[in-house]
Structure 1
């Protein structure tokens, strides 16, 4: 993942951050507001590591996958819906209710 994924969905990453760095406090993270330099300084302070060591640890963390709870974040979902607009026919709105296509639960009941 890239830092832009983290900064754009900052609050959604709190759980993943506190899992990786249990010393981190959500109130402090909230004040950092996705600022990478501030985050590096903060993690360095709470873990007692040197800045370079912290930077390397964060770089390694970023090499992993985006946590699934972040992918499910409403902000991310809204962005995905907006991107899907290119597949929606002219005159239709990607945010329209698709109830006219039926309900998946009803289809399961008929099977």
Structure 2
């Protein structure tokens, strides 16, 4: 995950942030509105740490894996499609004929019938 992703659209990160820093409220996040500096100040005030320490913790958090809610956001669809090739085994063609894996050679059953 990147700070740029967070600054552009922080809403999908809401639940992950509130899990990491349970003392944050929705209004805190709305007040910060994607600004990591403002959010760090709020975290520091709640935790009683310095803004620098809070900002470092926030940057470490944002440097980790993207929360599932944020990854599933439609704005990340293109990136998800590009990364999906990592799940295809070596030598496998993504567009290969997959008849051996399913029932492509059989007619569909009429609705409501077993045969």
Structure-1 residue corresponding to 2:22: 22
Query: Paired residues, what number?
Result: 85
Structure 2, gaps ≥5 residues long: 83-103, 110-115
Structure with greater helix percent:
1
Following superposition, which runs of at least 4 residues in structure 1 exceed 2 angstroms of deviation? 74-77
In structure 1, C-alpha distance between the alignment counterparts of 2:36 and 2:56, rounded to whole Å: 13
Within-5 A mapping of 1:14-93: 14-77=14-77, 80=78
Checking the alignment, whether the CA contact within 8 Å between 1:32 and 1:38 is kept in structure 2 is yes
Query: Offset of 1:45 from its aligned partner?
Result: 0.8
Across the aligned residues of Structure 1 and Structure 2, the Cα RMSD in angstroms comes to 2.6
Structure 1, gaps ≥5 residues long: 85-106
Deviations along 1:14-49, whole A, 9 cap, x unmatched? 101001000000122012110121111111111111
In structure 2, C-alpha distance between the alignment counterparts of 1:70 and 1:110, rounded to whole Å: 37
TM-score (norm 1): 0.65
TM-score (norm 2): 0.63
Q: Which has the larger radius of gyration?
A: 2
Query: Offset of 1:110 from its aligned partner?
Result: 4.1
